[in-house]
Amino acid sequence: MRVTQMSVPLGIGATAPDFELRDQNNQRVSLSRLRSEGRKVLIVFFPLAFTGTCQGELGFIRDNLPRFANDEVTTVAVSVGPPPTHKVWSAAQGFLFPILSDFWPHGAIASDYGVFNPDRGYADRGTFLIGADGRIVFADVVGPGEARTEELWDKALGGSVGDIATES
């Protein structure tokens, strides 16, 4: 039996690792640039495009976009899938927010945030709200097979301070 070293998700108060990833339109998007606009940044890690739970979660963001993209917050979703896959999926689903590719080095940003699952080869469902100062003000990880709830989205967008929820 192989034992894999799992990283620990970043918690509230930690400095959010900066990144620059390509979105579904192959445009570079960086956390530092998003933060320079003076808004909080909600980072939504998801396992894979074209899967039911992920599609439902990102569909919730799409259907409630004014809550997720406004003068106070901007939202980006991150997956290990490549930009062309994200382009087809986001066009089909009407996702107008950035879907970022953590494709290569494979899962590096998810690893930096402590949500990459090396046994599966993709990120767990991590949700991080980054304040304008670059510190994490909300952090949560939903276990495999679980979907983020509306209550979790409300807490994330409210910037609630609390412990990271992880699957035991």
Our CA dihedral for 36, 16, 79, 101, rounded to 10 degrees, sits at 50
Q: What is residue 65's three-state secondary structure?
A: helix
The sign of the dihedral angle between the CA atoms of 90, 69, 130, 36 is: positive
Q: Are 42 and 157 in contact (CB under 8 A)?
A: yes
Structure-block tokens of residue 6 = 């799992």
Of 31, 41, 43, 54, which is the active-site residue?
Answer: 54
Structure-block tokens of residue 75 = 């939202």
Structure-block tokens of residue 3 = 């034992």
Active site residue 144: no
Q: What is residue 150's three-state secondary structure?
A: helix
Q: Which residues contact 105 (CB under 8 A, 6 or more apart)?
A: none
List active site positions.
54
